Amino acid sequence: GENVEQHPSTLSVQEGDSAVIKCTYSDSASNYFPWYKQELGKRPQLIIDIRSNVGEKKDQRIAVTLNKTAKHFSLHITETQPEDSAVYFCALLSGGGADGLTFGKGTHLIIQP
Amino acid sequence: NAGVTQTPKFQVLKTGQSMTLQCAQDMNHEYMSWYRQDPGMGLRLIHYSVGAGITDQGEVPNGYNVSRSTTEDFPLRLLSAAPSQTSVYFCASSYDDRGADTQYFGPGTRLTVL
């Protein structure tokens, strides 16, 4: 199946700074790229997604960028706050006909006060 | 509107036992799926369904069975539990019939196999 590499596995930033998490993939037919946030002991929740016909999407302090040529997409969080501390997962849907999301292994984001 | 519900929340099994994890959604979603989450491994797709009567395998289907007799319910059966199946199991549903839209996750079932 499709493989998605997510980096870094842990990211510690000062409150107010920006955080960037990157995912790379191999299947050029992939066409849907969501990001999920999971707080400790809770279920994953969608925070933003992007489709292959768009290069960037923003929602307040969160943005996602997609580079189809280089096959990577990134999550950007600006002006980080303590409530941003969580594990973030990238995912993608292969365009090859297989259904279901493939997830990265996750990034533990720690916001230092 | 309860969203996606899962039962039980916690379960302990002995090796070789069988059990069914229940999942239900009340959003009339066609797409439902089961994931397992292990430390450092992200979420891995076990089985999914694009509508009643239709199921298919995901990345890690061995040792699990599913059925989809109604739009609302998507149970996951462990046939003969093994310690390697110790994990947190999440059920999810989506409006899009390929899962290419918001996946709504249930609260999860934490399973331990001794």
Q: List the single best residue of B10, B25, B43 to mutate versus A (max A Cβ within 10 A).
A: B43
pLDDT for the residue numbered A73: 97
What pLDDT sits at residue B107?
A: 97
Residue B85's SS3 state is helix
Write the CB contacts of A57 (distance below 8 Å, at least 6 apart in sequence): A48, A49, A50, A63, A64
- What is the residue whose two structure tokens read 């969580």? A86
pLDDT of residue B100: 78
CA A107 to chain centre: 9
Question: Does the beta-carbon distance from A45 to B44 stay under 8 Å?
Answer: no
Tens digit of pLDDT for each residue in B73-85? Answer: 999 999 999 999 9
Bridge partner list, A92: A102
pLDDT averaged over chain B? 94
Tokens for B23, please give them.
């999942």
- Compute the distance between CA of residue A68 and CA of residue B44 in angstroms, rounded to an integer: 24
DSSP, res B14? -
Cβ-based neighbour number of residue B85 at 10 Å: 19
pLDDT of residue B17: 97
A45 interfacial to chain B (CB closer than 8 Å): yes
Strand order, beta sheet including B76-78: B4-7, B19-25, B76-78, B64-66
Residue B87 has pLDDT above 80, yes or no: yes
Q: In chain A, whose CA is at the least distance from the CA of B59? A: A1
Q: What confidence category does residue A95 fall into, taking pLDDT thresholds of 50, 70 and 90?
A: low
Name the least confident of A4-18, A40-54, B94-108: B94-108
Q: Which amino acid is at B19?
A: M
Q: How confident is the model at residue A96 (pLDDT cuts 50, 70, 90)?
A: low
pLDDT category of residue A1 using cuts at 50, 70 and 90 = low
**Residue B1 pLDDT class (50, 70, 90 cuts):** confident
DSSP-based three-state secondary structure for A5: strand
Kindly determine whether residue B42 and residue A32, on different chains, have CB atoms separated by under 8 Å.
Answer: no
Q: What is the mean pLDDT of residues B34-44?
A: 92
B63: left (phi over 0), alpha (psi -120 to 50) or beta: left
Give dist(CA B7, CA B39) in Å, integer.
22
The CA distance from A76 to the nearest CA of chain B, in Å, is 19
Predicted confidence at residue B26, as pLDDT, reads 96
Q: Which of A31, A44, A99 sits opposite B105 (nearest CB)?
A: A44
pLDDT average, residue stretch B47-57:
94
Check CB contact of A97 with chain B, cutoff 8 Å.
Answer: no
Nearest CA in chain A to B34: A100
* Mean pLDDT for all residues in chain A: 93
> In Å, how far is B81's CA from the nearest CA of chain A?
24
Residues in B touching A32 (Cβ below 8 Å): 100
Determine contact: A34 vs chain B, CB below 8 A: yes
Rg, Å, chain A Cα set: 14
The phi and psi torsions of B3 (rounded to 5 degrees) equal 80, -130
* Among A89, A104, A3, residue whose Cα is nearest residue A39: A89
Range B51-62 average pLDDT: 93
Q: Is the pLDDT of residue B97 over 80?
A: no
| Mean pLDDT within B55-75 | 96
